[in-house]
Chain A
Amino acid sequence: MTDDVLDERAAALENGPCGQDGAIARVSGLLSHPGMWDAPPDLPGGIAALIAKAETDSAPASPVAPQAPASPVAPQAPPDDRPADMRPPRGPSADRARPGATRRRRRQWATAAAVALVLIAGGIGGVLATRERPSATVQLAGGGALPQAHGTIQIIERDAGWRLVLNAQGLPSAPAGSYYQGWAVKDGQYVPLGTFHMHKEGKVELWSGVPLRQFRRIEITSQRVGEDDPGPPVLAGTL
């Protein structure tokens, strides 16, 4: 490859593809992907632990589906096969005659009620979960002073706007006098999404009132109190 060709290709990669050069466009696209930049986490225990795992887990995974957990319903008494007239009378007197029966029946009713409650709650939860289903998830990679940080933002469309749930790893508590801020970014235009401090670990809720599909990136920046301009990014991802 001549120097001229190399320079031409380097410039195309650096400045973005012109025309219909598919290969340059594909490589440029890949260079903006987190997969080209994310560092894999260190192996817990190092190579020796990985080899030990490979040696000990040599048996293939069982194709059998896992067994369902034991039913929480109390064990049923065996069916009474005797003719009706030979069965002990039902009712309070019978329960008194068999002191365990009332407790067992109560337990069965309580268990049935608990199962019904779980099913109802599950149904409601399912409806809520459907309503909360993210329309997109953005992968965030660390940058600047926090190259090892990473996370995701789930975007959930709600009546009032877009609810963003940030789940960040490796993002330390903001130092005194500073905080973090989320932004939707496009062509130098920054729309604020909310601020937080991470003084405790957990998910962070941000909100957007603008359609995020019109933006190219989401950034989380480190901000100094009193400074309004976007600070250095600590997390960023492509929309």
Chain B
Amino acid sequence: MWRTNLAVGVIVLGTLALYTGVANMIPQVESDVPEELVMSLDATPEEMVAAGEELFLGAGGCTVCHGLGTRAPDIVGVAGAECANRQPGVSCKQYLHESLVAPAAYVVDGFQPIMPDMSRTLSDAQIWSLVAYLESQGGEVTVTAADLAPAGDGQASGGAEEAGGAGTVAGAGPTVAAGAGPEEIIQSLGCLACHSLGGEGGALGPPFDGMESLSAEYLRRGILDPAADTAPGFETFAGTMPPNFGDQLTAAQFESLVEYLSQLKAPGQ
């Protein structure tokens, strides 16, 4: 009997040892916690680039897709050189910031819109540090510590205004210029990267033309909680639309956008 017990023990422990050993032999990658980034208002661009690089290569998780060449563009060494050419009239800093906080607004040809909204997981300081790092990859760093300043403290300038349009950092409140009409809102938020209007725009989301058939309630939900409904024929892209567009509008802007969309007829009508 003891022989049986011994054999069973050896088999069980040997199997466990094998699996544990193999798992310990392969490359060990720990998922780090993004550390709280404290940047003073006199931080130099070099300090921001260094912080951004650490984030890019580590806890930001960016290299999971960027750098492999298949899931997302390889941006190391080239992001700073190419960013200003992506969207006409959009500066490098604006484009990179938008790529991080509203990634579906512009998707590079040949890639799927899988980039998450990083403002959900990173602080403003971390996002601006990433922008600084990406600018440094073949371009000139224009991000300054002033970009970190929240609106209203008298120090907001440059990038924050450029990126947000109203002197606030994205994700911290309305970012569309006060008084903007529905068409300007659509332009500002980059809606046409995915939706089409008058035959122009993207095809990742349902066209705006013909939305008069949808209820105002449905449209409101579509903006505030895009995961709640998926338009027929667009199941493949479900989950693509960022849920934070509502946060970037004032209540009046939001309602004017809903009203505008609810009046758009289908082509030919």
State yes or no: do A and B come from one complex.
no
